[in-house]
Amino acid sequence: MPYRRLPNTDTARIKAMKTALEKGKELPPNKLAFSSKTIVRLQKFLPQFDHNFQLYRQALASQNKKSKDYNETLRKARIYLTHFIRVMNMAIFRGDLPAETRAYYGLATDESTVPSFNTENELMSWGRRIIEGEEFRIKKGGSPITNPTIAVVKVRFENFLEDWNYHNTLAKRTFDYTEKNYNLRKEADEIILQLWNEVENTHNALPEEIRKTLSEEYGLVYFYRKGELDKANAAEVMSQL
């Protein structure tokens, strides 16, 4: 006897419910293999579940599409901030700037290491410090560091902040739909289980193959175990001889 396998993806859940609902449109209630109560619940629930699933897919697609652009903006911000600090350190090494210049950016005056920009939080924290420090130094009469100038660095940094906010908005939207879908999925599984149980109970007195065929018309999915599949294939071959 083949075993029944309940849907384990949202696409399969929607397909199973749509198949049963289509069957409900074809047949009058007294001819259906499942109850009127179940079809009413199905009619109410399926549009909601399907709609939320489509919104989730759209949100995820938008997030994935924008991720490449966001990663590039993030990379450019890191590069420009890193180059700015290196150029400043080289100017100190040449004697063009005093070592105390580093203090404007929150750096130790006796160290030439570049701060860590590995995480987005580090990049935001250091980016603001460096930009504000250079702008303040220039206001006090210091010579601007060039190639890159702080104006160019600021543009790259602000592009990153803008993309970061948008990226987080998309991620939150996807998460919200994921959470809602998780809760709806529990109800979907309850409905499908009830539906399939009712269909099988209706066909319970019929021979196995007829019962299986009729149940599959309502969206039920059956699988043969390996040994059973071999026997089924052999029986099919024999029937064709």
Q: Which helix (H) or strand (E) holds 3?
A: strand 3-4
Give tens-digit pLDDT for 106-153: 999 999 999 999 999 999 999 999 999 999 999 999 999 999 999 999
Among 106-115, 180-189, 219-228, which is the least confidently predicted range? 219-228
Q: Percentage of residues in the chain with pLDDT exceeding 90? A: 88
- Cα distance between residue 148 and residue 145, in whole Å: 7
Give tens-digit pLDDT for 78-96: 999 999 999 999 999 999 9
| Amino acid 231: pLDDT | 58
- Cα distance between residue 101 and residue 83, in whole Å: 16
Q: In whole numbers, what is the pLDDT of the chain averaged over residues?
A: 92
Give φ, ψ of 78 to 5 degrees.
-60, -45
Instruction: Report the residue count for the chain.
Output: 241
Averaged over 183-192, what is the pLDDT? 96
- Cα distance between residue 22 and residue 12, in whole Å: 15
- Cα distance between residue 188 and residue 181, in whole Å: 10
Half-sphere exposure of 101 (CA within 13 A, CB side): 24
Please enumerate in sequence order all residues whose Cβ is within 8 A of that of 43, keeping only pairs 6 or more positions apart, or say none.
21, 24
Please enumerate in sequence order all residues whose Cβ is within 8 A of that of 162, keeping only pairs 6 or more positions apart, or say none.
none
Q: What is the DSSP letter of 96?
A: S
- Structural domain boundaries of the chain? 3-235
Give tens-digit pLDDT for 32-52: 999 999 999 999 999 999 999
- Cα distance between residue 119 and residue 127, in whole Å: 12
Single-letter amino acid, residue 41? R
Averaged over 196-201, what is the pLDDT? 96
pLDDT for residue 213 is more than 60: yes
| Amino acid 224: pLDDT | 83
